[in-house]
Amino acid sequence: MKRFKALKIIGIILAAILLFFVVINVIPPAKTVQDNPFVVEKGALPLLAAHRGGGDCNPENTMLAFREAALTYKVDIIESDLYLTKDGYLVYNHDSYVDETCNVNGDLTQEQVKELCKDKTKRHYIKDMTLAELEQYNFGYYFEDENGQRIYKDVTDVAAAGLQIATADKLFAEFRESAPNLLFIVEIKNSGEMGIEACRILNETLTAYPEFADRIVIGTYHEEVEQELKENYPHLLRGASEASAADFVITQLLGVNLFDKSDFACLQIPTVYDVGFDLPLNLKTLISRAHRRNIAVQYWTINDADEMRELIELGCDCIMTDNPKLLRSVLEEYK
């Protein structure tokens, strides 16, 4: 009799736990963002994002690359990273230094430059250079075409060729009329006071281009910069920081949606994340749970056609790629 009562109590407890998990998954979570231009309609193809402007097709982070991406490959999103120059301009570049993408070191080979950059004191950092200094250089210098030819190595008028370093304000001005529906993903790479100043300048720039103010999502790896965006620029859409993304993924994989406190617009993730073992993130359940909060799920950086097709079938919101030409051709298959 006692054993039966004990089993009954255990059964009630297990049923209560099961009911708890069912309830917290059935209760509709609050939407993080009411109007999110980065979430596609159910059944629609994902948005095409040119990572660094599409570095496989054109010299990355140059106006040439951005123009080709928007006007030739008809991308939906331009994606890149922002750094603050010494004199307060926001420029696009992947690294904090420019040695590996331009001829700042003269006529060295890229192999020689990589060797030089192993000594961090010899790098040319954006924070130590003015915009005028940066604009002297050819940011297509090391780019190789499909045949391995450095086709922009000898360009002298880099401004006319669109091979200067690109600034945030020039990019918005460029597409104000030619691609007014373009979306932007940017990451503020500076930390500390420079990162906070970058937030201010980006917001000020967007004030001059209000048509893009609600068409840009801003990310950062730095906690103080994320906090600055939350407190002083809540009208701007934010991407998930690394910590916020990890919290979201964990709560969704465990099915405890009620405990998720996400307040970002876009979840930008790889298909697999290394946590000591390979944790797959290309999951339909993860995407659907993000959509319940009106959060866009964006995968980076996808340069393989089969992987692109897999993500299209999953129903993600965006695929970031270095090869917008390839992704455009894959998307055309589905049309």
> Above 90 in pLDDT, residue 170?
yes
| pLDDT category of residue 4 using cuts at 50, 70 and 90 | low
Domains of the chain with CATH codes: 34-95+166-334 (3.20.20.190)
> Above 80 in pLDDT, residue 228?
yes
- CA atoms within 13 A of residue 201's CA, in its CB half-sphere: 20
**Residue 49 β-bridge partners:** 77, 320
pLDDT tens sequence across 101-145: 999 999 999 999 999 999 999 999 999 999 999 999 999 999 999
| pLDDT category of residue 24 using cuts at 50, 70 and 90 | very low
- Predicted pLDDT at 274: 83
> Above 80 in pLDDT, residue 31?
no
Helix, strand, coil share (%) of the chain residues, nearest 5: 45, 15, 40
Share above pLDDT 90 across residues of the chain, in percent, rounded to a whole number: 80
> Above 60 in pLDDT, residue 3?
no
Other Cβ atoms within 10 Å of 197 Cβ, number = 16
**Residue 80 β-bridge partners:** 186
Checking 247-251 for CB contacts under 8 A at 24+ apart, the result is 248/290, 248/295, 249/273, 249/281, 249/286
